[in-house]
Amino acid sequence: MYWQFLSNPYDPKNDIGYVFIFYYGLERHLLYGNFEKVFDIILKLRDVYNNKSFQKYSSSALILSAMLHKRPDCAEKFIASLDKEYEFEIPAQLYILCKFGLNMPITVFDIIHFYKAFGFTNNRYIKNNPELFYVNLYKNLRELTGGLDMIYAGQYFSKSEISNMKNVSIPVFANVSIRDKEILLPDIATPSKFTGAVFMLLNKTHEDTKKELAETRKKNNTNEHHITTQPTIPKYTDEKHPCIQDKSTSRTLNKKISVEDIKQFSFTNYKIDELIYDDGMAIMMISTANRNQVKKDIQTVNTIVKDVYKLTKIPNSLYIEPDKLKFNTTKMSGTDKKEYYTFFECTPYTKTGKKAKYPLVFHYATKAFHLFQPDKDFFGKLYYSQNGSIGKGELIYWINHTGYFIYLGLIDKTLSIKKIEKAGFGEKILLYKA
């Protein structure tokens, strides 16, 4: 009976139907009543009832009502309350927008849980090998961010840019009497540099996991879903809260890397200059003496990419203009952090101290790289082998919110296209694989 339910509404054995009847009344108070008291009551209910519909409706109502009342403290309280996996039944774009507004990072857990929001669809290893996938994503995220195990959406666009996004209408309440209350919010899940960066992280993690499982099967002759050595998952700072990662475990760069470490390889086409250490990398900026050769290498890539038009129906517009590469740095708005565009990353050694297969990585980008959703943005990486030749490449082309990802590698000792993918509006399509 409903009266019995009211005597103890926090008993998980209660019928969920009674919970919704109770909740419908609470929703109205989020608008017109004692907002703060009701907010806390709903948080307690969410902590008890493992029901997808209830979790989804209540999460939307709490986040959006906190926005309506301009109460960031309540939004922070909501995020801090998420200590059970079933409580993450939250609309992805709303969760990401909430964290962005609070200047809170997107964590490894967030990326895996909301992977579809970033256009990633192949959940094979997320589902079947979650621990290994987690560890590989953790490693890749730290490589991307220079040692952090989280990513800030604010590094990719500002609040003013968010306000210029296309809006989507989101229903706020489950109660039919106030269900017509909707809020227009910026569609932060629209394909952008941020969603593209996370998509690339997920895609690389998928390939890394696939490779590691194949190597494990080869060594141990075991089933793909049962690896003999379980990976060590990085511990959370607060075991109660699966969203907070340990910020103290940042990667330390080996600053013993020197010019001589790079000169031991056959980079005769380039003049090896002094290194700087920033953003978790040993960086060599592109000097005037090296710019002509850099442009020649880009033209080599352009020549290879011409084959794309024969292999796929991609429009004939994937041409990187060498003269538009940006070689200097800029300062990130509101911080002392530098934004890099085109530069060399020096990676002469592996983690075990052996000579790296690709000791030099060329990062290239135009001035559009740090702009918000430009109509056209081409950037990527070229990996140089020990003999100084290009051994592989990752080329990213964003055109009108559609991403084309071209992966180069050696086929019969010739640099060639190995794979082409297309991403946009929540889907990824394999266009070609050699």
CA distances from 272 to 255, 286, 342, 367 (A): 17, 10, 15, 25
Q: Which residue type is seen at 61?
A: A
Q: How far apart are CA 130 and CA 12, in angstroms?
A: 28
Residue 172 and residue 37 in one domain: yes
- Is 55 inside any structural domain? yes
Residue 366 phi/psi, 5° resolution? -105, 180
CA angle 226, 116, 99 (to 5 degrees): 110
- Is 97 inside any structural domain? no
Residue 425 and residue 310 in one domain: yes
Residue 69 and residue 135 in one domain: no
Would you say 44 and 78 are in contact if contact means Cβ atoms under 8 Å apart? no
Lowest mean pLDDT among 14-23, 159-168, 206-215, 311-320: 159-168
Q: How far apart are CA 9 and CA 19, in angstroms?
A: 7
| Higher local confidence (pLDDT), 346 or 68 | 346
Both structure tokens of 352: 């075990």
* Res 221: pLDDT: 67
Each residue of 226-279: pLDDT tens digit? 544 445 444 433 333 333 333 333 333 445 688 899 999 989 899 998 899 876
Range of the domain at 125: 116-149+195-250
Q: How many CA atoms lie within 13 A of 417 on its CB side?
A: 22
Q: How far apart are CA 394 and CA 380, in angstroms?
A: 5
Each residue of 108-133: pLDDT tens digit? 999 999 998 888 888 999 999 988 99
Highest mean pLDDT range out of 147-151, 206-210, 257-261, 389-393?
389-393
pLDDT at residue 59 above 50? yes
Both structure tokens of 283: 């960086």
- Is 282 inside any structural domain? yes
* Res 265: pLDDT: 93
Residue 295 and residue 356 in one domain: yes
Q: Per DSSP, what are the bridge partners of residue 409? A: 416
Q: pTM of this prediction?
A: 0.55
Q: Per DSSP, what are the bridge partners of residue 402? A: 399
Average pLDDT over the chain reads 82
- Is 60 inside any structural domain? yes
Residue 185 and residue 325 in one domain: no
Residue 14 and residue 86 in one domain: yes
Residue 129 and residue 144 in one domain: yes
Q: Specify the residue for token string 């100084």.
A: 388
Residue 132 and residue 46 in one domain: no
Residues 6+ apart with CB under 8 A from 400: 375, 376
Residue 331 and residue 402 in one domain: yes
Pairing between β-strand 281-285 and β-strand 276-278 as defined by DSSP bridges: antiparallel
Both structure tokens of 285: 């900026």
- Quick one: DSSP state of residue 362? E
- Give the end of a domain, one of 250, 272, 288: 250
Lowest mean pLDDT among 83-92, 198-207, 226-235, 253-262: 226-235
Q: Can you tell me whether residue 180 is helix, strand or coil? A: coil
Q: Give the H or E element holding residue 265.
A: none
* Res 333: pLDDT: 58
Residues 6+ apart with CB under 8 A from 217: 223, 224
